[in-house]
A = this chain, B = another copy of it.
Amino acid sequence: MQNFSYQNPTKLIFGKNTIGELANEIPQSAKILLTYGGGSIKKNGVYDAAKKALGSRAVFEFGGIEANPRYETCMKTLEIIKKENIDFLLSVGGGSVLDGTKFIALAAKYNGEDPWDFMCGKAKSPNEALPLASILTLPATGSESNANFVVSRNSTQEKFGGWSPLIYPKFSILDPETTYTLPAKQTGNGIVDTFVHTMEQYLTYPVNAPLQDRWAESILTTLIEIGRKGIDEPENYDVRATLMWAATMALNGLISRGVPEDWATHGIGHELTAFYGLDHGQTLAVVMPGLWRNQFEKKKAKLTRYGHRVWGFLKSESETATLAIEKTEEFFESVGIHTKLKDYGIDSAEAAEKISKRFADRGLTSESGLGENRCIGPKEIKEILESR
């Protein structure tokens, strides 16, 4: 097991009818900017419940933060934040709204010229941020209980992730009933996202960390067990609750303590979103199986463990590992998320060319590349995408 440190200060408030807890968590004197997305919260009652709980507090609103939140959209909030002396951000929606809100929290306190500079690595992350909290309505990103976020820039077709200890939500309210009205595609994307988050911290190479392995396998097995039910029985409370809790636990930092991490699937997937606008979950379902086949020998030990423990295969190492990849593709398809680029009308040769070139332009090589072994460079990325 590798050395690590761990601290996660976010308070999680989980369960039925918990939105009213807002009243106990945000100071009466707060000047709040309530951020949201396309407006589904105004149809499903979440907005009304939040407004009711906030009572007479000063609440300003900013809607329209899109899936794969855009820098350009988020930047529009800075004026109202300054003008109204906003001192608390409340994200109401899914992980994209929350990711955008995390960026806003840092951007609002940034002293430099353009906040994009701390996203693309030209400047340091700010050492101050507005406090923020969330009401989560789409289990997927784990953003409700971590300090990560991802933002895209339209004008440059770039998508970057950020991290700062200052943007752990003060609290996150997770009411599984708010997810009853999610379209099936979003539920499916969330399941794939949770699954792949777990895999990025599990499917690497063994380091003798049996508890971490089993915790990851617990999430994977549970998702496989109930994933399809999440689509077929949208108002099954226990299924919705478990999907929500699994998404949080998959990316609150816990299962990665002491073990190597991959994240190449995310790195490559972000470019598919940036160039072709694919949903985040869709990109993961496309890339990961291809990446596993490309890195088969290096990942074989963990692929075999996964095939054995999660899928119950007891064949030879290579057979078990191969079957595990096939079963994973079947699972993604079973929750409605396709795993090949052609299913999305994308030419794989073109995507492979474009995206591998972008990584090459950024200086990535097969010796200093993505993944737990840092060996996934432009050549491997091209191979992976061509195979999808």
Contact = CB atoms under 8 A, between A and B. Distances in A.
A11 interface: yes
Contacts of A21: 5
Nearest to A239: B208
A18 B1 contact: no
Interface stretch (A72-80, A212-220, A298-306): A212-220
Contact of A7 (B2, B9, B219, B222): B9
Interface stretch (A126-134, A240-248, A289-297, A377-385): A240-248
Chain multiplicity (copies): 2
A277 to B, nearest CB: 32
A106 to B, nearest CB: 22
B8 A242 contact: no
A5 B14 CA distance: 6
Interface in A237-281: 237-238, 241-242, 245-246, 249, 254, 257-258
B214 A222 contact: yes
A226 B213 CA distance: 14
A221 interface: yes
Contact of A211 (B2, B3, B210, B219): B219
A58 interface: no
13 contacts: A1-B237, A4-B15, A5-B21, A7-B11, A8-B8, A15-B258, A208-B242, A210-B222, A210-B226, A211-B242, A212-B245, A241-B258, A254-B254
A214 B210 contact: no
A261 to B, nearest CB: 16
A1 B238 contact: yes
A123 interface: no
Given A1-B245, A7-B11, A8-B8, 10 more contacts: A3-B18, A7-B171, A15-B258, A211-B219, A211-B245, A211-B246, A212-B245, A214-B217, A214-B222, A241-B258
